[in-house]
Every structure is written in C-alpha cells, then in structure tokens.
Chain A
C-alpha cells in the first residue's frame, strides 16, 4: 500500500495501482479539488508525450554500426600492444641509463645519489598509485562502467 496519496497519482494515471489502492485514491480524489487539478495536469502531460517519439537514424547508419564498433575493438588491441612495446623499451632504456650512471666513475657521487633518490621516489609513487587503483577495482562492482 502506497502511503502518500499525491505519489499515488502517478500510479493512478498509469494504471499501476492495485484495486485497493485505486479505490482509496478515488475516495481521496472526490474530496480534494487540488488533487483533481493535478490529475488533469498529468493527463494533459500524457497527451503531449503520447504523440512524441525519439528520432531514429537512417538505415545506412545502422547497417555500418557493427563495423564501426569492430574497428574500435581492433584499435583497442593495437593500443595495448603499442603501450606494452613502449613500456618494454622504456624499461630497457632506464636500465641502460642507470647502468652507465653507476659504472661511470666520472659522474660525481651526488649526481648518482640524486638520480637514485628520484628513481626510488618515482617507483614508490607508482606502486602506491597502482595499489590504490587495484584496491578500488576489487571493491567496486561493475567498476569499468563507472567513470
């Protein structure tokens, strides 16, 4: 049983009330001119929305719909491969730079310490960020769909 008579108005207009609710609502309607005015307003609203429909798209757009999505899924795979390749190359480059840095006796110690501190700081921040994202990922249902 719906408590609020005014809220029942929506159900009455749409024929969604049970017999008991409908009878109770009609009894209230007979005694309440404001409620009757609201009912008329809702009916007028339905008259307008009843003749409206959403626009459609031309057939050729629908014919090409799947192809467009398919191309995007392929591009997604391409991006994954590209990112993977870039990460591998970046890691290798960093390894080479760090190796040169520590082997080369010409480079002052304070530069080596500075670069090491910066590198360790970056790794800590990266790990922390990844951990936070994983934490949120494991606790959110349908996480991919929420932006």
Chain B
C-alpha cells in the first residue's frame, strides 16, 4: 500500500479514524505520525515542489480531522486518504498552472534526486536524470500519478488498483500509455540537444 504495512496496519488506521471522530487528538497524532512521510512523498510526486508538497500533506491531515465523521468505515483508510491528497494536489496545480493539472516549473530540481546508495547511480547519465525530471513535469496529472505510484512508490498493480479504485487491467493500460508518453518526451528532449 502507499504506506508500508499490512492488513493489521489498515485495521489500525480505520480504528484511529473512528477515535478521531470522537475528538481523540492522540489518535489523530498517531495517524499523522504513521503517514506524514508518505503523504509528503505522494504530494511531492504529484506537484514536484517540496514546500507545496509539505503544505498539501498538512492540509490533507486537517481534512481527515475535519471530515472524519463522513468517513465510510466499510472502506479502507488509505484510498480515502490518497483521494484527499490527489484532490488537493490537483487543485494546487490548477491554481498555479495555466496548463491544467500540469506541474509548474518553480526551479525546484531537488524534488527528485539520484539515489546514490544504488550501485547503478554511479554510471547513470546526469542528462537523462534532468530529462526525466523535466518530462515528468510535462506529463498530465493522471499519467504522472500512475508513474509515481509504480516507479517511485514501488506499488504492485493490485495495490494501485485498490488505491485508485480501478481494475488491474486499467492499471496496466494506464501505465503503458503513461510510459509511452514519458519515453516520448525524453526522446524529444534528447533529440533537442
């Protein structure tokens, strides 16, 4: 799932939201503690700016707190929480960008970095990294979303399907077309040089 965990984690999340409904701030603090980094990283993948991702993640938790009473206890917590983050990110992008739901270039190149702990990092072409960063910004929100979940969150197709409430076949299809566009954008940038 979007946060590291298992069925027990999911049960605990739901139990915490039930407690938050009763006004339990300790339960809210625990929920924040469990998901704060995940919330930030998801928002970062969607908007591509650390400051805004931080604000979006905080606002997402406030929405959870305020709308806990409307939470459907039959549904798992994480897809609900993801929907909140994705909607906030969409709204943020719509406000900031003339191109609907596209990332805006705020010269924040530090949102996506080379992981130097990996052995492959030493031989990776730095230009390709810059191209990828830029190409991701040019993708549509939906394409970037599916790439973010699979490539950078490392989620399986089943997990993505559950999170986005779509069939597994649709995950595969969306990933194919998103990758095609991403590869095309990178090819284009490479050809421009």
Contacts and interface: CB of A to CB of B under 8 A. Distances in A.
Interface string A121-147: 000000000000000000001111111
A54 B45 contact: yes
A52 B115 contact: yes
3 pairs of A and B residues whose beta carbons are closest in the complex: A144-B67, A10-B175, A10-B176
A54 B151 contact: no
Contacts of B182: 45
B70 interface: yes
A51 B114 contact: yes
Contacts of B41: 54
B141 to A, nearest CB: 14
23 contacts: A2-B169, A7-B172, A10-B176, A10-B179, A14-B157, A16-B172, A38-B180, A42-B179, A47-B120, A49-B147, A49-B151, A51-B124, A53-B112, A53-B113, A56-B37, A57-B40, A66-B29, A66-B36, A70-B25, A70-B29, A142-B70, A144-B63, A147-B87
Interface in A37-72: 38, 41-42, 44-57, 61-62, 65-66, 68-70, 72
B73 interface: no
A8 interface: yes
Interface of B: 25, 28-29, 32-33, 36-37, 40-41, 44-45, 50, 54, 58, 61-63, 65-67, 70, 72, 80, 83-84, 87-88, 91, 110-115, 118, 120-121, 124, 128-129, 132, 147, 150-152, 156-157, 169, 172-173, 175-176, 179-180, 182-183, 186
A146 B132 CA distance: 30
A2 B129 CA distance: 32
Contacts of B83: 142, 145
Contacts of B80: 142, 145
A69 B29 CA distance: 9
Contacts of B29: 66, 70
A68 B62 CA distance: 11
A74 to B, nearest CB: 10
A62 B36 contact: yes
Contact of B128 (A8, A9, A48): A48
Contacts of B91: 147
B172 A2 contact: yes
B61 A146 contact: no
Given A7-B173, A49-B132, A52-B132, A143 B70 contact: yes
Nearest to A3: B169
A52 B172 contact: no
A6 interface: yes
Given A49-B151, A54-B41, A9 B112 contact: no
A46 B183 CA distance: 10
A52 B66 contact: no
